[in-house]
Structure 1
């Protein structure tokens, strides 16, 4: 079992998402599809990735339900494929944005980040924020507790006490 399969088999949403994204090329493919680059040759050119690598990554993303292949045909040419993010793939946009925010804060050149995300209507910078289901915006000092969810495996408390149900996450 390779690392991707091992991660996918875990009962953990982070591990399963990491298994889908699996490597930097896959994350960059999702990023570019989200930016509107849909054609295979444009993806190859923009990413600087080998065609075989891109083919494998697109096949893996399609298998995971993240992208779909859509055929198109230019007049006088053979049928070719475009790749589009599915709803599941579009939902990964927040993951890509979080990676971008982290890189902007911790890995950008001294001159600053190479790309800025701004609200089209007003031009203000866009930030990711955490909000609970009741609409409370969480700040740096707010505590988030991790509790077993409905998909958590059943545990025998005499054999395995498991994680503290009130484990704090920051």
Structure 2
């Protein structure tokens, strides 16, 4: 199923996103792809995931347009595929960063984080946050998820 094939009854963007990204292994697969592992065997070895699960998850990500398959062939071997992030998959880095930041804060390892979010150019540490149109961080207690008119049930003309 692709993003355009989702039923219109799935009105919430969160619900639509977790259809593709909400399974336990999917963020871990995306983490490995962001870390440069693109071959099936490498992803499988790094995660210790069963072949059938990885095959299914990668097929879902390809179908959703988050990942694309590219053929390759080592000398003397059959054609295989690498998995590369699309723009959609690269955008998922924000989700991974937010999950990691939440985990560091609310489910930390005793030994500390295994990864830090840093600016590739400056090396500065980064936080995931909401920003206003001018790029300023907005505190979480000031953020509201406001339903749009397209998400409200028909109220027969009455105001919500």
TM-score (norm 1): 0.80
Count of residues in correspondence between the two structures = 156
1:31 aligned to 2:12? no
How far apart are 1:145 and its partner, in Å?
A: 5.5
Distance in 2 (CA, whole Å) between partners of 1:154 and 1:122 is 44
Cα separation, partners in 2 of 1:125 and 1:8, compared to 1, 3 Å: farther
Cα separation, partners in 2 of 1:54 and 1:7, compared to 1, 3 Å: farther
Q: Contact 1:131/1:138 (CA < 8 Å) preserved in 2?
A: yes
- Which residue does the alignment assign to 1:127? 127
How far apart are 1:80 and its partner, in Å?
A: 1.1
Distance in 1 (CA, whole Å) between partners of 2:154 and 2:7 is 24
Q: Contact 1:72/1:82 (CA < 8 Å) preserved in 2?
A: yes
How far apart are 1:13 and its partner, in Å?
A: 0.4
Cα separation, partners in 2 of 1:8 and 1:100, compared to 1, 3 Å: farther
Q: Deviations over 1:20-56 (max 9, x none)?
A: 1131111211111111100000011001011111111
Distance in 2 (CA, whole Å) between partners of 1:56 and 1:141 is 38
Distance in 2 (CA, whole Å) between partners of 1:103 and 1:34 is 18
How far apart are 1:137 and its partner, in Å?
A: 2.7
Aligned pair partner of 1:157 in 144, 155, 158? 155
1:98 aligned to 2:98? yes
Distance in 1 (CA, whole Å) between partners of 2:39 and 2:9 is 32
Runs (5+) with no aligned partner, structure 1: 1-5, 163-170
Distance in 2 (CA, whole Å) between partners of 1:31 and 1:130 is 21
After superposition, the CA RMSD in angstroms is 2.6
Higher normalized strand content (fraction of residues): 1
Q: Contact 1:20/1:64 (CA < 8 Å) preserved in 2?
A: yes
- Which residue does the alignment assign to 1:166? none
Runs (5+) with no aligned partner, structure 2: 1-5
Question: Counterpart of 1:124 in 2: which secondary structure?
Answer: coil
Distance in 2 (CA, whole Å) between partners of 1:155 and 1:57 is 33
1:64 aligned to 2:61? no
Q: Deviations over 1:54-74 (max 9, x none)?
A: 111111111111111000112
